[in-house]
Each structure stands twice: as structure tokens, then as C-alpha cells.
Structure 1
């Protein structure tokens, strides 16, 4: 077995890791209303955001769920970039894209309130409350589409960032 691993190119584990990350994240970006396992991770951070920001008033508490859902993976991306670990930053950017897609779907759902909520009460839909309060419910589709577009950009950018070092020309090593 060790002979087989010794013959693998150095980049093979990274390709396998990136492939696994894409397999977990891309379906939730393409079909954000069916977010899969990673959607449950995002939900934990979403709900924690409401609790952590409830001291800041109703609007910030409502926004806090979506903000935290996106800021946690964004913070992880920043931490990996700080360490100059582009591969890990790229993989975590895929999670950021997944989180953005979930928020985009949630925003788009505000007028209809069809997505299942953990409260079971459609009147507790964060984005319905926010956009209704701002008299901007008509902007839900555009704002949701914009957020979904950001999700796709994050997936593309994350993939490129993850493979960046492997795409760089290297001098021939002796």
C-alpha cells in the first residue's frame, strides 16, 4: 500500500479533498432550498446569531441570523488567508458560498414564506419581517438573486483559490 501512495503525485490528496468539498457544497448552492448536511451546520450558526445579537434590538436580531451564517465561514476564510494557506481558504470559501446560497433562498422566500422554519410559524420568517417592516417585500427576489449570484462567485473563487498554488509555474526541481 505504501508503494501506491508513494507513486501518487503530491497534488492528489488536494484534488481528492477539493472534490469532496465540492461534492458537499455545490448541490446546496445549485438547489439552496435543499441544503443537505451543510445546511444544518449553517442553521446552527444562523440561530446562534439571533441569540448572540438579541441585545442589539429587533432589526439586528433578525439580521443576526443571516449575518452570522455568512460571517462565520468568512472569518474562517480570512484566518486561512492570514496564514497564507490558500488551499484551506479556498475550500472554506465553498462553505461561504453554500451559506450565501442559503441566505439567498431565504430572502427570496420572504413573500411566500414556504421554507420550513424551526419555529413552524411562517410569521417568524426573518426576511419577511425585515422586508415587510422596510416596505421592501417586492425587493426580495432581486436581493435573493443577488445573494445567490454571490454564492456562485464564491464557489468559483474558492475553487480557483484552492488550486492556485498547484497552477503556479514552478522551476524544475532537481
Structure 2
């Protein structure tokens, strides 16, 4: 239980150092940028989506591996990573109209979601989609805690 609480404290954005992405934020950034590179061949829209997609798929794949091996506690902890990643993507999506988040390029015109919503002529969708993704992130925290504690909860029955 202590390990789970420590993991929650470390993984939730802004808890350790408010305003900074923290360790997992930097890990997510690596997978985000790798997604752009790996999907560059598939066209502009897929390449732009690839960053956020890979940022979510990598922890999701790790969850799948742990569940397949029957390691629920590990799967639950990694679900907290997925929640962190979802929270990051939700903030990025919601930021599209304003483009206030710092980008590694330093150029607000390279904002993936601003470009996507501009291509789709749907910039007004950004706040709503950001809220939906944030709600999914909060749900992932609850699911992660439940999955991590499943064996303990089952023993008490």
C-alpha cells in the first residue's frame, strides 16, 4: 500500500515540482517524439497524431504485458503512468487554441494539436476533447489503484 501511495505521489503531474513535467513527463516526451518519427511515413495528419498516440500506447502496451503475466500490482502501477500520460495529452489538446505550453521547438506554430485542429477546421473542439481526456486520466488513476490493490481486496473477502 505504501508503494502505491508513493507511486501516486511521484506520477501525478506537478506534485514533486509544480510547473515541471517531472520524471514521467520527460519519459512521455521521449515516446511522444518517437511517435512522430516512427509515423512520419504515413502522412502529415498521422505523423502529428503519432506523438500523442505513442505517448499513450507505450504505457498501455506495458499494462497489457503485466496483465498477461498475471502481475496485477505492476499493471496497476503502470496504469498510473498511463493516467499521467493521458493528463499530459489532455493538457496539450486543451492548449491548442492558445498555444501557451512550452514546446521543445520553441515555436508555437509547431503545436501538434493546433495544427490538427486547424487542418480539420475544428479548433473549438480543443477544450471539450481536453476535458474528456482529463476525465479519462482521472478514471485511469481510479482503475490503476483498484487493479493494484485487487489481490489485497480479494483476500479480505
Name the TM-score class by shorter chain. over 0.9
- In the superposition, the TM-score normalised over structure 2's length comes to 0.94
Q: Is 1:72 matched with 2:58?
A: yes
Q: Is 1:26 matched with 2:12?
A: yes
Residue of structure 2 aligned with 1:99, choices 85, 88, 103: 85
Conserved? CA contact 1:33–1:102, under 8 Å? no
**Could you say what secondary structure the match of 2:78 adopts?**
helix
Distance 1:162 1:33 in 2: 28
RMSD: 1.8
Q: Is 1:52 matched with 2:43?
A: no
Distance 2:95 2:71 in 1: 36
Distance 1:105 1:28 in 2: 12
Larger Rg: 1
Query: Shift of the alpha carbon at 1:131?
Result: 0.5
Residue of structure 2 aligned with 1:85, choices 53, 71, 75: 71
Residue of structure 1 aligned with 2:120, choices 128, 134, 137: 134
Conserved? CA contact 1:33–1:105, under 8 Å? no
Query: Shift of the alpha carbon at 1:152?
Result: 0.3
Change (3 A) 1:19 1:98: same
Change (3 A) 1:26 1:104: same
Give per-residue Cα distances to partners, 1:116-153, cap 9 Å, x unaligned: 00000000000000001101100000000000100000
Q: Structure 2, unaligned stretches of length 5 or more?
A: none
Distance 1:100 1:16 in 2: 24
Alignment of 1:103-114 (within 5 A): 103-114=89-100
Distance 1:33 1:93 in 2: 22
Q: Is 1:146 matched with 2:132?
A: yes
Q: Structure 1, unaligned stretches of length 5 or more?
A: 1-14
Distance 1:87 1:170 in 2: 16
Q: Is 1:164 matched with 2:150?
A: yes
